Structures are given as C-alpha cells and as structure tokens.
Amino acid sequence: MGPLLKLYIALVVANAVLLLGHDLSVVAQWPYAWSAGVTIALIVLSAIGDHLHFEVRRGWYTNASAVAHIAAAFLLPPGLAMAIAALGVGLRALRHPLAPPKLAFNVASITLAVGAAAHLATRFGGPDRVSPGGSWTDPLIAIVVSCSYCVVSAGLVAVVVALDKRRPVWEVTRGNLSVQTMGEVGLGTVGAMLAAMLNSAPNWAPMLLVPAGLLYLAKQAMDRADRRSRNMAVTSAVGRAVVGTLDPERAFQAIAEGAVLEGLKLDGLALVPMGSPPAFSEHVACEVDRPALRAAILEQLVLEPRQIDLHIGPGRVVPTWVPEDVRCARLAVAAIPFGAGYGRPVGGLIAWREVNAGRAAFFDLDQMLVLKTLADYAAVTLETARLAQETARLHREAGQAEARREMEALREVARLKDEFLGQVSHELRTPLTIIHGYSELMVDGMLTEPGTIRQSADEIHTSSALMLRLVDDLLDTSRLDAGRIELKTDRLDLATWLTRVASGFGQATPTHHVVAQLAAPLPSVMADADRLGQVMNNLLSNAARYSARGTEIRISAAVVDESVEIQVIDQGPGIAAEDCERIFEKFYRGRHGATLAVRGTGLGLAVARQLVEAHAGSIGVRSTLGRGSAFWVRLPMAPTAKAGASRARVA
C-alpha cells in the first residue's frame, strides 16, 4: 500500500468520523419524529442487506443494504442513519474479515454516502417526502437522494482503486459507473418506497424481518446454485477443448484463460512445469500476478507433491515459506500437482484470488473439485499426448521391423534361388557330362567291345533318367504353384499298393533292404495312384540316398484316428530339430553337414508336400540326429472305409 493511498484512506476516515460525531451530537435537534421500532428494524435490514451482494459488472458490486440505507436517510436523523450503515458493514466484517485499512475505508465510505443522502433528504423534507398524500415530486426527490448516495459511494471507491492500481480514475470507472449508478438508484427507489410504507404503518416494521430473512436464505441458495452452475460451465468448456486436441499446449491454453478466471472468480491461474527437463511450457492467466508466490509454491510442490489450500491474511498463521510481500494481503491460494504415466508429478496447477467483499472468503469444496478436475484435464492431456507419441513410435518401429523382415525374406529367397540354380546347374552338368563323354567315345569308335558299349549305354540311361527326374520336379513345382495339376483320384487298396511299391523299389535299389510292415486290414483311400507313387518314390529315394548301403528301409502303415498314416523309416544320420520344419520348403536342404554332403536340388520334399496336401493330407518327419528318420504321410480314409473302421473299433 503506497503512501498516497494511505493518506487518502486516512482523509476519508477522518471526514467520516468528524461528520458522524457531529451528526450524533445533534440527533435531538432533528425537527422530525422518528420511531425506535423502525430504527431497530432498519438496523436488522441493513445487516441482512450487507450480506446480499450482487455483481453488477466484473469487479463492481452492490448490495441490498442500499434499500435500508435510503429508507434510514428519509426516516431517521442523519447521525442515526450513518451509524446504522456503519454498524451493518462492521457486522459483515465479523463473518468476512478484512484488513484494518480496508475495513476502515469501507465503513467510512458508506458512512459518508449515507450521510450525504440523509442530509439531502432532510433538506427536502425528510419523512414528509414519504408520507401519504405527498406531491408528484416526491419520487423525483427519492431518485436524487439515491443518486447522491451512489455518486459519493462509487466516487470514493473509484479513487481508492485508482490509487491502488496506479491507474487514472476515468479508466477505473469507464463503463462501470453508469451500471453501478443504475443498480444503486434502483435499490434506492425501493428504499424510498420502504420508507413510505414504514412512515404510514410503523407498527408493521418488525414484520419486515420475516421476508428479509427469507430473502437472505434464498439469496444464499441462489449463490450456491450459481457457483455450481459456473463450475459446471467451466469444466464442460475446458473438457470440450481438451478432448478436441492432442496438443498439450492448446489444451493448457484452454485451461489457463480468462473465461476460467471469470467463471471461478480468480485473480490468476497458472500451469507450471516441475522437474527437468520440463514436460511443457508455463501457462499463466491472471489479472493480478503473484510471481513470487508462484515460485514459492512450486518449490513446495517439488519438495512435497501434495495439495495445498492456503489462507493468507492479517492475523492468520501462514507457513514460513510464504513471501513477505504477500503476507499482508488477503489471499486464497490453492495448488494441485498433476502427472499421469510418470514416476512423479510433472506439473502443478496454482490458483489464487484476493478475498474481498464481493467474493467467497476461500476456496470451498466445489471450487477445489473444479480445480482438481482442471488438473486432471492437464494430466490426461499429457498422458494422451505421451501415448499418441508412443503409439506412433511403435507403429514406426513395427513398420521398420516389417520392412527388415521382408528384406531378409527377399534376401533368403534370392540366396535359395542362387543355391537352387547352382544345384540345378551341377545336377544337370554331371549327367550331361557323362552322356556327352560316353556318346563321344562311341561316335569316335573308341568303344568296340560289346560289354563296354552296354556299360556305357547303361551310364547314359542312368544319367538321362536323373536329368528327367530333375526336370519333372521343376515342372511339377511350377504346375503346383500355378494350381495346374489335376488329380485323378480313385479308390486305392492301400495294402496291396504299398506292397507293390516296396517290392518295386526294392528291386530297383538292391543296395538296401526294403521291407513292408502293414497292419491288417488297411482301409482304402481316395488317391491318384501315380502322384501318390511319386511321393513315395521321393521318400524312398531320399531314404536310400541318405542311409548307408546294406541298411534297412521300412514301409509301415496303420490307422490313426480318421486317417491312414504311412511311414518310411530309414537308418540314416537323422535330421537336426531346427531343420525338421524347413526341409519341406522349396530349395531348402538343411544346414547339417551330412545332408549337404548328398547331392540334391531341395525340390523333392516340397513337391511331395504339395501333392499330399492336394490329397487333403499332411506330411511330416520324426527324427533325431544319429538315429535315423521316419517320414510320415497321413491320408483321409475313403467314406465307406471310415464306416468300416468305426465298426471294427466298436467290435
């Protein structure tokens, strides 16, 4: 408070004391009669009216006490009217304490305003102007008296506000004085009508206390409803703004804006970051900033992140960390830490307002709930932004991982194709070399003995058969991929057919013992005998190629569930577990040394799997390194065979 403001308040208070003292000393000389009952009623009405505040414009308030003040100005001596007004303000201060300078100024200003109105009313005739049968000028006089009351009251307040804010008086009153005047004049006119009623029927004065009390209760209920309505409007408006954006900065701007200050009657609201690096930039919306207070509260939130509800004012015990420059002010302060998805709070919401006659003393439960909701909005905004960034990051990483997998797959396909081309070239080149060599010898006439010629012809035949098998595998792979192979299925007596396959392969491969162990009876299947023979020939050829000479190759078959399982079991080196699933892929020949030592293209098992699956069957292998392998093929039984197998199991 500056020295000029202190001097002005002292002058106003001194004038009010002098005028009140003088007018009380001459009460007995007042030329009109006055009633003690009316005086008591007006004291009560003035006290009640001082608790009925109305905001006529932001920052400018009036109250219903003007009704009792104008009525007292007409019906009572000026000294008594001024004392009643001063008493009403003092009684309100018991419930809403004020700093001594502000309380003294409020009492003095209302005393002078009522004194001016009372003296003017007395000059115009006092109670005679509100008596029955008066002239038509009486309402005009009531308006003039009310205007004098308003001009003195508003003028004194405008000057003290201008001095406090260091602004010109016309800037303080611009746009506000006319609204204030209309409100005061309207209430003053009602006061004049009340004076007329009390002047004509003073015995009814005590009865006015009942409607005045009910009006007070109704106003309190209306104020509570209005506060809740404004609270809901604030939370709803901010909620819509927060939900409509993923940008925390825009959401924080919606929280810390003038509409929120207006709705919650705040002097300032700030969203401040905590920690390093800060999760967001600071946002402050205020009419009266308190940077030192904000900094002190932020330090406390960092030290101990908990809710703060602080009442600052003369005569109150405040924490030692509160800055000295705000200890003399009357402030309500609230601070709420927030943060979601983080280990510690990342920010705090700080709200403050000056406690004065037109506002609630401190933050009540409803207002604290609104502030907590705003803090939750801030936390949700940060968490939503964090999750959105995390989701985008995961999508990017997933896309990069998918791209890497596709690249690796393409590299693997290219490698397998290179290996395939190398294998095919090698497989073709070897028999072609043999064929070319023996045929060249025969053309040159270097082979003359019949035995040698026959042996050479056998080599040419064997090599050409190998080439034919290789070309057939390539063609079958291409046709199966394109879906151009049609199966000629027919009912196949599996036991007879497998016995014939084992016998034929045994004769063609005298280096191994091929035996058939078949469960009796075996059901029939619907299959293409030629294509199924191609599968069996591939499995048996692999068994012979990958197992030592003189070892046994066993063919077995049995019913498993609703299928017939055929197995080709060898005594070869076995297959590594990691290769068992992949050996049925095209071009794949495994990574084990024993497998790679045998020449092949890696197409035979891939063709076999496609042919078996075309029969609605499945193929697989059971193998352990060093213990041989058992390739199995499962085919569905023919419909009538299923029924027969079921009856056999029941029997």
Q: Is the pLDDT of residue 119 over 70?
A: yes
Compute and round to an integer the Cα radius of gyration of the chain.
Answer: 53
The average pLDDT across 598-604 equals: 65
The structure tokens listed for 612 are 């078996």
> Most confidently modeled of 369-378, 416-425, 528-537?
528-537
The structural domains of the chain, ordered by start, are 3-200 (1.10.1760.20), 229-388 (3.30.450.40), 400-482 (1.10.287.130), 490-650 (3.30.565.10)
> Most confidently modeled of 2-6, 211-215, 377-381, 633-637?
633-637
441-483, pLDDT tens digit by residue? Answer: 778 777 778 888 888 888 888 778 777 777 777 777 777 766 7
Q: How confident is the model at residue 1 (pLDDT cuts 50, 70, 90)?
A: low
Angle at 227 between CA 221 and CA 229, to 5 degrees: 100
Q: Is the pLDDT of residue 174 over 70?
A: no
Host H or E run for residue 558: strand 552-560
pTM of the full predicted structure?
0.46
Preceding amide of 127 cis, omega within 30: no
So what's the pLDDT on residue 554?
A: 93
Q: How many helices (H) and strands (E) does the chain have?
A: 20, 14
Q: Are strands 513-518 and 552-560 parallel, antiparallel or unpaired?
A: parallel
The average pLDDT across 604-614 equals: 88
The average pLDDT across 517-537 equals: 88
509-526, pLDDT tens digit by residue? Answer: 889 999 998 877 888 999
Q: Which residue has the tokens 């403001």?
A: 5
Q: 149 or 587, which is more confident?
A: 149
So what's the pLDDT on residue 552?
A: 92
DSSP class of 326 = G
Q: Which one, of 619, 615, 410, lies nearest residue 527 by Cα?
A: 615
So what's the pLDDT on residue 640?
A: 72
Q: 96 or 340, which is more confident?
A: 96
So what's the pLDDT on residue 160?
A: 81
So what's the pLDDT on residue 392?
A: 85
Q: Which one, of 397, 357, 351, lies nearest residue 374 by Cα?
A: 351
So what's the pLDDT on residue 60?
A: 47
Q: Is the pLDDT of residue 86 over 70?
A: yes
Helix axes 100-124 and 138-165, enclosed angle (nearest 10)? 160
CA distances from 222 to 146, 216, 217, 219, 225 (A): 27, 10, 9, 5, 5
The average pLDDT across 312-318 equals: 77
Task: Specify which residues 567 forms β-bridges with.
Answer: 556, 632
Helix axes 365-443 and 209-243, enclosed angle (nearest 10)? 10
Torsion on CA atoms 385, 387, 391, 397, rounded to nearest 10: 100
Q: How confident is the model at residue 602 (pLDDT cuts 50, 70, 90)?
A: low
Q: How far apart are CA 366 and CA 292, in angstroms?
A: 27
51-82, pLDDT tens digit by residue? Answer: 776 554 444 456 778 888 888 888 899 999 99
So what's the pLDDT on residue 45?
A: 82
Q: How far apart are CA 610 and CA 615, in angstroms?
A: 9
So what's the pLDDT on residue 64?
A: 76
Q: How far apart are CA 583 and CA 589, in angstroms?
A: 6
Least confident range from 17-21, 30-34, 599-603: namely 599-603
